[in-house]
A = this chain, B = another copy of it.
C-alpha cells in the first residue's frame, strides 16, 4: 500500500527520501502517516523490483544531471558509476521507471475495500482510466452499503445497556450514509465526463 503512494508521488517528479516523506504527508494528510521505518524499506523493495531508480548526488546537487522523465540507459549507468561514492552529503534521489509506471497502474486497478487504501487510490485517480475509476468507485459504494446493513443489524440486535456503543454505531451509520451519497456524486460526475477523460497517461494530444 505504501508502494502505491511512493510511485504516485514519484510520478510527478524525482525526489529523495526526506522530500518524499513531506510530500506524502501533505498529499495523503490524515491517511497513512508514513514513517521512515516503512519508507526506506519500501524504497529498497521498489528498487529491487526495478520500479524506481536511485541516483546519488554530490554536494553540487541534482542540477548536475537532468533526471526528468523515466530513468533508463545512461541514468542507470550513471547510478552504478557513482554507487560506491561515500562523499559528503550524498542525497539519494529516486525516480520512477517504466516498470514502476506499469506497477502503479496495476496497484491502482486492484480493489480497495478499506477506507485508507481507497482514499489513497482516489488521490492518484488521474493515473488510471475511466472504466477503472468507475469500477473502483462502485465497488467502494457496494462495500459501504454492505457495512451499513451490517451495522444496522448489529444496532437492532444489540441490548441497549450501553449508550456509548450505541452512539458509536449511530454515528458510524450516519458517516457511512454520508460517504455513500458522496460516492454517488463522484460516480455521477465520472459518468457525465467519461468522454473527455479517456486517456490516463497524460502527455497525449
Contact = CB atoms under 8 A, between A and B. Distances in A.
A186 interface: yes
B151 A29 contact: yes
A29 B172 contact: yes
Contact of A122 (B30, B154, B168, B178): B168
Chain copies in complex: 2
Given A167-B186, A186-B167, A172 B30 contact: yes
A152 to B, nearest CB: 11
A126 interface: yes
Interface of A: 26-27, 29-30, 119, 122-123, 125-126, 147, 150-151, 154, 162, 164-165, 167-169, 171-172, 174-175, 178-179, 182, 186
A126 to B, nearest CB: 6
Contacts of A186: 167
A26 B123 contact: no
